[in-house]
Every structure is written in C-alpha cells, then in structure tokens.
Amino acid sequence: MNKKKIVNDPVYGFVSIPSGFLFELINHPYFQRLRYIKQVSMTHLVYPGALHTRFQHAIGAMHLMSSALGVLKDKGIVITAQEEEAALAAILLHDIGHGPFSHSLEHTIIEGVSHELISSLLMDRLNTEFSGKLDLAIAIFTNRYERGFFHQLVSGQLDTDRMDYLNRDSFYTGVSEGVISYDRLIAMLNVVDNQLVVEEKGIYSIEKFLTARRLMYWQVYLHKTVVGAEQILIKILERAKYLTGQGQQLFATPALAHFLQYKVGCHNFTDDASHLDWFTRLDDMDIMSGIKAWVYAEDPLLSMLCERLLKRDLYHSEISYEALSPEAIKSVQIRVKDYFDIEDVDLPYYVFSLKIQNSAYNRLKDPIQILMKNGEVKDLISALNVSDLGVLEQKVTKYGISYPKEIGFFRF
C-alpha cells in the first residue's frame, strides 16, 4: 500500500511519516522507549500540562525538518532523496540517547557520559541492524557531511530541534509567549555555499525567536521551582546510590538496580556493552517507581526527600543576580540544623545553592547568517545595522539558594 502513515500531533495537526524506513525506526524499541521519557523532566510540578515526551518531540522535529527541506527545494536547492531521508533520520534519532528525566539525571545515573555520546552509540547499533542505511544520517548528525546546512538544521542556532521544543514546550506548559512562528522562520531559510542562511525579511522573526527562547529559559527551563525540584530528584538518586554502596537493599526495578549497584561512568561505560543494554531499558518510570517505594525506606533522609517530591512539598528557592555570601548561606544552614536536628553531613540534602546561566545568542560560537536582498551574506548583528543585541547576547547569571519552607523565609 502506498498510503503514508499519519500521526496526530496537537502542535502541528497531521504529521506524515515520509518513508517506510523512517516508520521502522519509529517502531524500534529504542525509539518507542522515548514515549516514557518526559521532555522537560519535573517541569510538570510547576506547569501541570508539561507531560510531553521525547517521542513526540522527535517526531515533531522531523516534521519541521521535512518542511524546511521542502522550502529549500522550492528555492532551487538540490537535495537528493537519500539526503532527505538521512536528514530526517538524523533529527528523528538526535535524542535517542536521553535517559530518564532527560537532562536532569544526565550525569547522575551514569556519571560523565553525555546523552549525545549515547545517541551516537545507539545510532551505530541501529546502523548495524539496518545494514548501513544510517551512514549518511550519522555523518550529518556528527557534522562530517560536507553539505553543512543539513547538520545546521539538526543542531545549530535555528535548527529544527529548537524550533520544535520551543513550540512544544510553550504549547504544553501554557506559556503561550514562547510560541514561535516556525512556519515563517522556515519559509525564510535558504542555503548559500552549503551554509544555512535566513533571508533578510525574516530578520525580525529571528529577534522574536531569540526573545522567545530567552523567555522560555527564565520562565520555564530555569524557573526556580523547576530547578529546585530537579535538584531534589538528583539528590534522591545520589542518596539511593550512596545507600546501595553502603550495602542497603533498596527496592528498584531491575534496570534501575543495575545502575544503583554498578558505578557506571565514562571510565567503564563503553567497556561492557551490557551497560548500554540496561540503559535502553531505563526510563522515567523506573525512577518514579523507586521514589514511590522509598517514601517508606528506612533511611530518613531518602524517605523525606521522596515524600516531599511526591507530595510536591518542595523547597523554597530564592534567586538574585549576586551570589550569596558564605555568611548568608551559613545562617540558613544553622537554622536548618536547629530546626531539623541534623548533622553537618546531611546538610547538603537540606540546603543547596543554584547557579543558573543563560544567553540567548552567541555571536561567536554560531552566528546566524542573513542573506541580504542584494545577495550579500552578513551575520545577524551587521545585518541589523547595530553594534550588539543587548540582553539577547548578554550571558545572564543568577544565583539561588533552596531550603525547606518550615524554617521560615530569609531576606538577603
């Protein structure tokens, strides 16, 4: 049968799966696993709608890639069917290596191994399974293909990954201000010398896109309560690993048990393929079912943290543009010790500092190139005829401290 498979996506409507091979990739257990990994971790504790997954995101990004390639072909850029399928496969699989709760636990479950590395390893496995059909997709993903714009569409300032996640995260959080006009941005894409450029008349749309991204960072991704909840999640896992190391027997699903027992990290991860096997069995539910059981764990610290997370009885966080002085932190710690009657060694589970940083645009690292009406290509800042983009370029750093509400509020 000739009919295309179609997915209903609340964000874009009907999304078609452009080829049988891509449909097979989607049906692979590695990809189906993404159904159970939330895109934005514990954000749903602040924005209850934000339960969407890496699965939906990957398919959405593929949809935008398909539109972008369509626009480029309409403008006369030659793109072969093989290149098109490879670019679609690359974006489909770009997050395949994400573990439970995406970024939050990236360096907790397996220390020092990035999700990009794991994505690469899994793509290699899939490539073997599919007899080399992913060669070009992998070359694009790892930026080894000479036509650089394909990689830029997978990973760059204006890639289809970002376009999808801004859209999708806005949609599901209800922070509608983060919505970007992806259709307009995509309509303005072009290619010059194999590099991605944006046509001049799209210049204000880019400003809007960068502002939307900045807004989403501070309003959602780096929202103090979200960051605080993710810290508690990390501390729970650290505590569980510590207790297991001490010989305590904690309830855990088989896959989670593996990572509690073995200290898997960059030193030994690739030595033994079984670690990667176990990793592919791990998702958000392993962590959460552990946490639910550990509410009743003997260790009071672990139990306390798990109970707080489940009841959404989160810590209070305070944020400012300057780091707190050691004295200020000390005063919080003293209050906590007093109130909860705990030892110094447990303090890091009760009081912790946050440092959050973001900049919306980095002119040096990956400048956005504008195709002027007269055919010239200029970077965004020159094209706007300005010396800088102000807040959009600035690296903003904020500092925070989190502690249990019970001790009352501090004002620094």
Residues 224-253, interacting with its own copies (CB under 8 A): 251, 253
218 binds its own copies (CB under 8 A): yes
Nearer to its own copies, 145 or 169 (CB): 169
Distance of alpha carbon 403 from alpha carbon 386, whole angstroms: 44
Radius of gyration of the CA atoms of the chain, in A: 23
- With contacts defined by CB under 8 A, name the span among 127-135, 142-150, 386-394, 401-409 that binds its own copies: 386-394
9 binds its own copies (CB under 8 A): yes
- x/- mask, its own copies, residues 315-354, rule CB under 8 A, reads ------x---------------------------------
48 binds its own copies (CB under 8 A): yes
Count of residues touching its own copies (by CB under 8 A): 83
Nearer to its own copies, 48 or 245 (CB): 48
Distance of alpha carbon 131 from alpha carbon 103, whole angstroms: 31
Nearer to its own copies, 121 or 380 (CB): 380
String of DSSP letters for 91-154: HHHTTTT--TTTTTTTTTTSBT--HHHHHHHHHHHHHHHTTTTTHHHHHHHTT-SSSHHHHHHH
Using the rule CB under 8 A, which residue among 23, 70, 75, 112 binds its own copies? Answer: 75
- With contacts defined by CB under 8 A, name the span among 54-62, 228-236, 240-248, 345-353 that binds its own copies: 54-62
State in angstroms the smallest separation of the CB of 348 from its own copies: 26
79 binds its own copies (CB under 8 A): no
Distance of alpha carbon 131 from alpha carbon 125, whole angstroms: 10
Using the rule CB under 8 A, which residue among 22, 37, 59, 407 binds its own copies? Answer: 59
Report residue 383 as tokens: 């094209």
Nearer to its own copies, 145 or 171 (CB): 171
Nearer to its own copies, 132 or 374 (CB): 374
29 binds its own copies (CB under 8 A): yes
State in angstroms the smallest separation of the CB of 199 from its own copies: 10
Distance of alpha carbon 295 from alpha carbon 308, whole angstroms: 9
State in angstroms the smallest separation of the CB of 124 from its own copies: 21
Nearer to its own copies, 44 or 103 (CB): 44
Distance of alpha carbon 308 from alpha carbon 314, whole angstroms: 6
Report residue 131 as tokens: 């007899």
Contact 140, 154 (CB under 8 A): yes
Using the rule CB under 8 A, which residue among 184, 316, 337, 378 binds its own copies? Answer: 184
State in angstroms the smallest separation of the CB of 212 from its own copies: 7
Report residue 163 as tokens: 């376009």
Site for its own copies in 279-318 (CB under 8 A): 281, 283, 285-286, 288-289, 292-293, 296, 310-313
Distances (CA, A) of 106 to 73, 98, 99, 244: 38, 8, 7, 20
State in angstroms the smallest separation of the CB of 177 from its own copies: 4
Nearer to its own copies, 149 or 172 (CB): 172
Distances (CA, A) of 159 to 73, 114, 185, 189, 405: 17, 20, 10, 11, 41
Contact 43, 220 (CB under 8 A): yes
Distance of alpha carbon 80 from alpha carbon 235, whole angstroms: 49
Nearer to its own copies, 65 or 383 (CB): 383
Nearer to its own copies, 311 or 365 (CB): 311
Distance of alpha carbon 271 from alpha carbon 266, whole angstroms: 9
172 binds its own copies (CB under 8 A): yes
Contact 239, 411 (CB under 8 A): no
Contact 199, 186 (CB under 8 A): no
State in angstroms the smallest separation of the CB of 70 from its own copies: 11
Using the rule CB under 8 A, which residue among 131, 344, 364, 411 binds its own copies? Answer: 411
